[in-house]
Structure 1
Amino acid sequence: MIAKLKQFLQSHTQESSPEDKQKNLNLAAATLLQEVVYADENLAAAEAALLPEMLINTLGINSEEAITLIEEAKQSRKNATSLFEFTAEINAQFSIDDKQKLLLSMWQLAYSDGELSQYEDQIIRRTADLLHLKHSELIQMRNIAMETR
């Protein structure tokens, strides 16, 4: 038990390269977006089609990287115990504007199938809180998403 704890602590205290940090950040953002997609336990075709586009626009990656990231995020999502492990990574590296952009993407995904489920709404609100965004920012991003759909 102590050996496992030491291994865990060492893996989280080692310095990461800038590439590793960026990969972890992208994975955290992609996993949060997938949380919205799978919140209602129904993957709509519109959501599946929009997810790579949201990753490309939000993270500035290409389509091949987006597809790879989606697969990695599926596994990450399965192993996750809470949203905090992803939002902590984002809080450490994202600016307020980047956080708002991510939140907007979450709202756009939630509305892409034509309806907002209570579970999608709940995950987005919880994520906004964990990202230390104001309620007014949450509402502003939701309104923008509703206007653009």
Structure 2
Amino acid sequence: MIERFLSFLKTLPGTPDRHDHHDDPRVAASALLYHVMNVDGERQDVEWERFKAILSKSYAVSGKELDELVQAGAEAERESVDFYAFTSVLNRHLDHEGRKAFIELMWEIVFADGELHELEDNTVWRVAELLDVEREDRIAARRKVAARLSDIKKP
């Protein structure tokens, strides 16, 4: 499922224009991922690296293009007053499976530091609701990511 989502994201055109990103799903995704990374007030290096890796893999960008996408997402997140502006863009551009896969990416950011903060959990829940991702799918994605990351950390 996540591979299909990543494949779809790679087909989206061009690099985001910092001044015209109101309907760019890449910027919307970047902004939401940026928000969940920072919501607990403690951005760790491992979260920052995971955030950039997700964007790089999801959109097949690197170097300057990746930096521009990160900057556009950070700027959009700072200027926003709610999640709706971003989730409405994703709802228009992603099918249901794509939206579920996006929630899984959010969990990857959340668990990058090995901890689950209640503000992170609440943020993913609110975004999932706005993306019409069912509670069961949100929880399944959380468990899947947590299990995968715990398997990676085991010696």
Give the TM interval when normalised to the shorter protein: 0.7 to 0.9
Aligned to 2:69: 69
Aligned to 2:35: 35
Q: Is the 1:52–1:66 Cα contact (8 Å) retained in structure 2?
A: yes
Structure 2, gaps ≥5 residues long: 1-12, 15-19, 150-155
User: Displacement, 1:68?
Assistant: 1.4
Aligned to 1:4: none
Report whether the alignment pairs 1:51 with 2:80: no
User: Displacement, 1:100?
Assistant: 1.4
Structure 1, gaps ≥5 residues long: 1-17
> Which moved further from structure 2: 37-46 or 64-73?
64-73
Larger radius of gyration: 1
Provide the aligned C-alpha RMSD in A.
Answer: 1.9
Q: Distance in 1 between matches of 2:127 and 2:61?
A: 25
Structure 1 length as normaliser, TM-score? 0.81
User: Displacement, 1:52?
Assistant: 1.2
Aligned to 1:7: none
Q: Is the 1:83–1:127 Cα contact (8 Å) retained in structure 2?
A: yes
> Which moved further from structure 2: 61-70 or 82-91?
61-70
What does 1:93-132 align with in structure 2 at a 5 Å threshold? 93-132=93-132
Q: Where does structure 1 differ by over 3 angstroms across 4 or more consecutive aligned residues?
A: 18-23
Q: Is the 1:52–1:63 Cα contact (8 Å) retained in structure 2?
A: no
Structure 2 length as normaliser, TM-score? 0.78
User: Displacement, 1:108?
Assistant: 0.9
Q: Distance in 2 between matches of 1:53 and 1:77?
A: 19
Aligned to 1:83: 83
Q: Distance in 1 between matches of 2:69 and 2:62?
A: 10
Q: How many residues are paired up?
A: 131
User: Displacement, 1:92?
Assistant: 0.7
Structure with the larger helix share: 1
User: Displacement, 1:23?
Assistant: 6.9
Instruction: Please tell me the residue identity of whatever aligns with 1:106.
Output: M
Q: Distance in 2 between matches of 1:148 and 1:33?
A: 19
Q: Distance in 1 between matches of 2:144 and 2:49?
A: 20
User: Displacement, 1:21?
Assistant: 7.9
Q: Is the 1:37–1:110 Cα contact (8 Å) retained in structure 2?
A: yes
Aligned to 1:10: none
